[in-house]
Structure formats: structure tokens, C-alpha cells
Amino acid sequence: IQSKTRLQAGKGYKNLLHCVLTIYRKESAMAFFKGMSFPLASITVYNSVVFGFFSNAQRLISKYRYGDGRHPCSLSDLTLASMLTGFVSVGLGAPVDLVKIRLQMQTQTLLTGKSVTLPSSSSSPLSPSPLYRGPIHCISSILQTEGIAGLYRGAGAMVLRDVPGYALYFIPYTLLCDLLRPDDTSTPHPCSIWLAGGLAGSISWVTATPADVVKSRMQADAQLRRKYRGIVHCIVHSYRSEGVQVRNNSPLQAAEMERGKDGARPEPGTPHPEHTVSSQTLQIWPTPTKPMYD
């Protein structure tokens, strides 16, 4: 999960292997579990509500349409129940995903009164510290700076991911389970359930990945250094920078592509764009010896 988030919304990663090695070398093996405490603490409630809502939605739809809650659902019934489940998952999962991504992507933010030019060398006299000390502090900071709406930043992109994504998960899962049952009266074998769940999950994520990239970039876009004005702006900007391969590229790769279009090189003595900060904030990646987590 850490590598997926860094590739979708991070900087300087060429591919999955390079991302994994970079995180390990600079932040230790524990960095792969950064931001996971909040999702792990809430995953039981989340899954219970989502899957429970899907089952109850099927019963209510069957009872309303056929007069019997145990009547088998048609394809349109499954589609409606799945899409409603997607909306419920956004309401529960958007804040959890936001906190997870902010903790995984956080950089140090120092308030400065004027523009700052960083030296070319890797050493810096500044001692970096994490922006968020943990999930509770992250939630508190977001509420103070962005309000309740800040916890649901990227929720629109999450709707684009989860509403069709859950439909493309539950429908194949239900159909495969029915197909793999020996007869209509028996229940599927556990191995059949595992196979159906794995295939359905693969189908769902292949189609949901582009929307997931937009969601990750919107949620990683902090208020002090906001880059995207909305979902459409994020999609257009990402497409113009990276083309149809946007789901595989990181923002740094897009910046390199834009700077390299004319093949121009900076004049000697000119600070590199990555070393110059002209706003009132200065972001610094943490030193390898000090990982950003509690």
C-alpha cells in the first residue's frame, strides 16, 4: 500500500522496484507500514458495515420487487445494491484513506517569511520532523485548517472509483459463486469462494485504478501547497503531463517530461527548480535516519 501511494502521488520513483528500494534505504523497513494504524483499527468496522449493507440492500430490493427478501436478485438488482454500497463505502472510507495517505506522504513544512534557496548538497542544517505525529494529530490538524470538508477531500474521485468498482466486484463475485456451486441448494466450497473473490477483485481493481490515482493525488494535495483545484483539473493536468500512462507515473516524472520538452539546460549558477521554494512553505524530505512515524 505504501508503494502504491508513493507511485501514484509521490516524487522521484521510476518504477515499483525503485520505489521499494528507495523507501527501504531512506526510511527503513518500518516505513512500509506508515499510516496503517488507523486503517487497521477501522477495517473491521468498515468491512462489517460495507458487506452488511450489501446483503441487507439485496434483501430490501428483493422484498420490494418480489415480495420475498429471499428471492434471488437479478443482474439489475445486484447492480443497484452494489452501487449503493459504493456510496456507503465512500462515506466511511474517505476520511480513513485521507489520513492514511497524508501520513504516508507527509513532508516537513517550515513557515518562512521569504523565498528560500536550498544548497545543492544533500546536507541541510535543518532538522526535519514529521508534519503529523500520528493519526489523531493528523485528523485534528485537518479539522483545524480545512474543516470537516477537508476530511472528505478526494471523496468525489473515490465515488468514481468505488461506485462502479463495487459493482464490478460484487456482480462477478456473486455470479462466480453461483457458477461454482454443485447445485442450487448447496453452498459454495471455501476454495470456490476464494477463487471468486480473487477474480472479482482483479476485475474491480483493473477498472478502478485510474480513479484511484486521481483520488490519491487529490488527498495527498495538502492545503498549504494545493496543486489541484478539483477532480477535473487533476485529471486534465495529469493527462497533459503524463498522457494515458498517468496511472503508472509519478508527479516528478511528469515535471521532468515538461522540462525536457525543449531540451534546455539551466545556466551555470542557476538554482535547480527543486532547490528553490518561492512560497511561504518549505517542504523537505526526512533524513534517512529519522522515519516519519510514531
Residue the block writes with cell 549558477? 269
List Cβ neighbours of 186 (8 Å cut-off, separation of 6 or more): none
User: Nearest Cα to 3, choosing from 16, 205, 37, 100?
Assistant: 16
pLDDT at 118 (0 to 100)? 39
Residue 79 C-beta-side C-alpha neighbours within 13 Å:
4
Domain ranges of the chain: 2-105+131-257
pLDDT at 35 (0 to 100)? 66
pLDDT at 23 (0 to 100)? 78
pLDDT at 92 (0 to 100)? 93
pTM more than 0.85: no
pLDDT at 2 (0 to 100)? 59
Q: Which residues pair with 284 in a beta bridge?
A: 108
pLDDT at 162 (0 to 100)? 95
Q: Which three cell numbers stand for residue 226?
A: 494545493
pLDDT at 110 (0 to 100)? 39
pLDDT at 204 (0 to 100)? 93
User: Nearest Cα to 246, choosing from 200, 285, 215?
Assistant: 215
271, 213 contact by CB (below 8 A): no
Q: Which three cell numbers stand for residue 120?
A: 545543492
Fold of 2-105+131-257: Mitochondrial carrier fold (1.50.40)
17-24 own/partner pairs: CB under 8 Å, 24+ apart: none
Q: What is the mean pLDDT of each run of 10 residues along the chain (294 residues)?
A: 66 77 79 74 90 95 92 93 96 92 66 39 48 88 91 94 95 91 81 93 90 90 78 90 62 41 44 40 37 40
